[in-house]
């Protein structure tokens, strides 16, 4: 798009040098921050000035078109400069460690097939889209077609060059010398680029809105940091689906377990879904990213067997540290999470409706205490085995209003459960000798509790109420009273004591 105004170079009356001049339309002055373009053509020769004038005029018109929201028409030189910019970046990214030559050979073959079959645009669409987004460009149809072609040719050259690098050939790349410098749109692009949207600024807003406890805040921030480190920046508006897919592939290649990768992606998906719905970013780049991994049956979580339960409970009887003495017994007969038990206070143990209970609630707990969800807030009747063991005598020996397990020090997030989980886990592995990795030292109690409830004929609904599971049906959220404690107590009394001689 060549300027139609002042079609002749302007000669400076004092220096004799020629200039391009163009008045900026009033409606675009605020966006561009200027009222006029005055650009030296760097010559006093009129013939040279006229030749340079056309190229400068085209660049200015591109800036004006971009500021007005219209697509830009690239010059031929700019097409090859832009495609060359991508080539340089990709070569710098991969040449130090290109991996196996076969991967690049397969890519080159696919690109050549796409060229021969007329599928050029589809073959390079992700790369071109990302390049244009990075440079803040919207180009017209003709320019896009030209750029697609240039990018395909450069991608083929790149694949062959990286095959050379993978084979140890690090000689000078002569193609680099033929690439024109990309600078024609640089100033205008900087003027048009939107302000960055920092990932961690967004996350702080999300965490504040949802009131994440310190540990959740830390773990989410750590996973977001992994993503931003991988993509090389922390601008949420610039992260694409291709970035997230590449990160997912990197997680898989790193050897992380399927469950861990699934958790990472769940956090990333939740973060970007919130950001997009709250109009903090234009679109959700994680919306269509999927992960389906076959579970390894050898890593399936197992519950404790009767023999395991007996060994743990008998070993706990010999312990002097209160949390090692009582948390295993409470885990066996309440189905509660280790963190819920370790963080309990003495006031959480009491009598409700004539039933001895332990209360899982943040009301009486220390600053770092939390619960997983609304369903986690509950009162659990104490099994007769706990009463027979003297658990209430232990509670009575403690000062009221203090922690149920004062021997546990809070971790850096203010949670006693963090240290409790670690020390009990090590104790079960080393002292009790249960080393099967499929048996999680603390969580396998919840698996066992569920199994024992099924054997005793306790309904799923009652089991969920005792364990603090959220139901999956809409009707599960209706009502506020929950199940009467006497009903829950009757259910818990059905559970056998693994140490009962009759079961041996």
Q: Could you tell me which residues come within 8 angstroms of residue 87 by beta carbon, excluding any fewer than 6 positions away?
A: 154, 157, 158, 175, 176, 179
Rounded to 5 degrees, what are φ and ψ at 342? Answer: -65, -30
Contact of 272 with 279, CB cutoff 8 Å: no
CATH number for domain 199-299, candidates 1.10.150.130, 3.40.630.30, 3.90.1150.10, 1.20.120.850: 1.10.150.130
What tens-digit pLDDT sequence spans the chain (504 residues)? 333 334 578 888 888 888 888 877 665 666 666 778 888 888 898 888 888 887 777 777 767 766 656 677 788 888 999 999 999 999 999 999 998 888 899 888 989 988 888 889 888 988 998 888 777 677 888 888 999 999 999 999 999 999 999 989 999 999 999 998 886 444 433 334 456 889 999 999 999 998 888 888 889 999 999 999 888 888 998 899 889 999 998 998 888 888 889 999 999 999 999 999 998 888 899 988 888 776 666 567 789 999 999 999 999 999 999 999 999 999 999 999 998 899 999 999 999 999 999 998 877 776 655 555 556 788 999 999 999 999 999 999 999 889 999 999 888 777 888 888 899 999 999 999 999 988 888 889 999 999 999 999 999 999 999 988 765 443 344 334 568 999 999 999 999 999 887 655
- The DSSP H or E segment spanning 159 is helix 141-166
Laid out side by side, the sheet with 36-40 consists of 10-11, 18-23, 36-40
Q: Which helix (H) or strand (E) segment is 120 a member of? A: helix 120-135
Q: What is the pLDDT of residues 177-200, one digit of tens each?
A: 999 888 644 443 333 445 688 999
CA nearest 329: which of 413, 449, 168, 410? 449
Class of domain 306-470+481-503: mainly alpha
Whole-prediction pTM: 0.50
So where are the chain's domains?
10-67, 76-192, 199-299, 306-470+481-503
């Amino acid at each position: 798009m060549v300027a139609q105004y002042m079609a002749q170079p302007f000669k400076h009356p004092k220096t004799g040098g020629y200039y391009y001049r163009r008045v900026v339309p009033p409606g675009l002055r605020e966006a561009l921050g200027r009222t006029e373009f005055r650009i030296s053509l760097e010559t006093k020769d009129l013939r040279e000035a006229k030749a340079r004038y056309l190229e400068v005029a085209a660049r200015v018109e591109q800036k004006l078109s971009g500021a007005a929201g219209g697509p830009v028409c690239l010059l031929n030189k700019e097409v090859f400069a832009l495609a060359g910019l991508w080539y340089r970046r990709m070569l710098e990214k991969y040449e130090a460690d290109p991996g196996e030559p076969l991967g690049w050979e397969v890519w080159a073959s696919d690109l050549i097939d796409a060229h021969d079959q007329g599928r050029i645009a589809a073959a390079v669409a992700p790369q071109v889209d990302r390049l244009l987004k990075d440079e803040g460009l919207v180009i017209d149809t003709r320019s896009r077609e030209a750029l697609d072609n240039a990018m395909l040719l450069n991608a083929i050259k790149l694949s062959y060059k990286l095959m050379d690098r993978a084979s140890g050939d690090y000689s000078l790349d002569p193609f680099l010398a033929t690439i024109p410098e990309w600078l024609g749109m640089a100033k205008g692009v900087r003027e048009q680029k939107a302000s960055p949207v920092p990932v961690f600024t967004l996350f702080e807003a999300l965490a504040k809105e949802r009131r994440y406890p310190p540990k959740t805040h830390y773990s989410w921030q750590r996973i977001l940091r992994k993503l931003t480190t991988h993509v090389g920046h922390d601008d949420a508006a610039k992260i694409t689906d291709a970035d997230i897919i590449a990160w997912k592939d990197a997680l898989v290649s790193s050897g992380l377990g399927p469950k861990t990768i699934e958790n990472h992606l769940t956090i990333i998906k939740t973060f970007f879904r919130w950001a997009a719905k709250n109009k903090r970013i234009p679109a959700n780049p994680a919306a269509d990213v999927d992960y389906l991994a076959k579970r390894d049956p050898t890593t399936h979580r197992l519950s404790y067997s009767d023999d395991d339960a007996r060994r743990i409970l008998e070993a706990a009887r010999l312990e002097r540290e209160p949390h090692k003495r009582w948390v295993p017994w409470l885990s066996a007969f309440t189905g509660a999470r280790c963190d819920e038990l370790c963080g309990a206070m003495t006031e959480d143990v009491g009598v409700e409706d004539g039933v001895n209970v332990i209360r899982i609630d943040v009301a009486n707990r220390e600053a770092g205490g939390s619960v997983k969800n609304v369903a986690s807030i509950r009162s659990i009747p104490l099994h007769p085995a706990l009463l027979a063991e003297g658990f209430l005598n232990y509670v009575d020996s403690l000062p009221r209003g203090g922690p149920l397990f004062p021997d546990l020090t809070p971790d850096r997030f203010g949670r006693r459960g963090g240290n409790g989980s670690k020390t009990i886990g090590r104790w079960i592995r080393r002292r009790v000798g249960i080393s099967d990795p499929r048996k999680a030292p603390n969580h396998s109690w919840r698996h066992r509790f569920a199994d024992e409830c099924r054997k005793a004929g306790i309904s799923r609904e009652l089991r969920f109420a005792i364990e603090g599971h959220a139901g999956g049906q809409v009707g599960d959220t209706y009502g506020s009273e929950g199940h009467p404690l006497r009903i829950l107590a009757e259910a818990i009394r059905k559970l056998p004591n693994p140490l009962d001689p009759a079961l041996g």
